[in-house]
């Protein structure tokens, strides 16, 4: 069964619980911070919970372009797109997680709670887990012995670029 790059990207997005969200500061610097994923939609849109008074919300008001990265020991995802704060109490209640109470003491109705939707425009992934990892190790070993770079291969289970 062949996995499309789009399907593989969505599979990997669903596997992560935390991501690094990168925004641009008013001075033009890049700033990343960890964010708990609230939801990954089938179209690849990501949802996060944040404080409406946070620095990232101010940064997004100036420049809505973001990068989102996710990493485990053998799986990596990078997503580029735009982000927008969304005041949607119904969705916030549906997505609410008890651990968010640390940041939102008022619970799902906390007035500072706002959702952040990231709409991806492009994504890329690398999956070196399981048999994919073994294949990569073989290619890397050959490259090491021959003094070349490992061939990237064209297996969408291992690496892919996706336009969203």
> In this structure, is residue 102 part of a structural domain?
yes
> In this structure, is residue 138 part of a structural domain?
no
> In this structure, is residue 137 part of a structural domain?
no
> In this structure, is residue 43 part of a structural domain?
yes
Strand partners, 51: 113
The per-residue pLDDT for 25 is: 97
> In this structure, is residue 145 part of a structural domain?
no
Q: Please indicate whether residue 4 or residue 134 has the higher confidence score (pLDDT).
A: 4
> In this structure, is residue 152 part of a structural domain?
no
Q: What is the pTM of this model?
A: 0.86
pLDDT of 2-44, one tens digit each?
678 999 999 999 999 999 999 999 999 999 999 999 999 988 8
| Cβ–Cβ < 8 Å for 84, 60 | yes
Q: What is the DSSP letter of 3?
A: P
Residue 98: give its domain's CATH number.
Answer: 2.30.110.10
Q: Tell me: pLDDT of 151 over 70.
A: no
> In this structure, is residue 107 part of a structural domain?
yes
pLDDT of 47-106, one tens digit each?
999 999 999 999 999 999 999 999 999 999 999 999 999 999 999 999 999 999 999 999
E-assigned strands of 6-108?
18-24, 30-40, 46-51, 65-71, 75-86
Domain count, the chain: 1
**Nearest one of 146, 149, 84 to 115, comparing CA atoms:** 84
Domain ranges, residue 34: 5-127+157-163
Locate all alpha helices (DSSP H) within the chain, ordered by sequence. 5-15, 55-62, 89-95, 130-146
């Amino acid at each position: 069964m062949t996995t499309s790059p789009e399907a593989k990207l969505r599979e990997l997005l669903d596997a992560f619980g935390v991501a690094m969200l990168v925004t641009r500061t008013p001075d033009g610097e890049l700033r990343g911070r960890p964010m708990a994923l609230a939801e990954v939609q089938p179209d690849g849109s990501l949802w996060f919970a944040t404080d409406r008074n946070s620095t990232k919300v101010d940064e997004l008001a100036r420049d809505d372009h973001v990068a989102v990265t996710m990493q485990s020991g053998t799986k990596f995802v990078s997503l580029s797109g735009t982000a927008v704060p969304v005041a949607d109490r119904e969705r916030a209640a549906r997505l609410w997680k008890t651990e968010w109470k640390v940041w939102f003491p008022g619970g799902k109705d906390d007035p500072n709670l706002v959702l952040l939707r990231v709409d991806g425009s492009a994504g890329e992934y690398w999956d070196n887990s399981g048999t994919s990892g073994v294949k990569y190790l073989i290619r890397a070993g050959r490259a090491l012995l021959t003094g070349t770079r490992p061939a990237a291969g064209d297996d969408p289970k291992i690496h892919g670029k996706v336009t969203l």
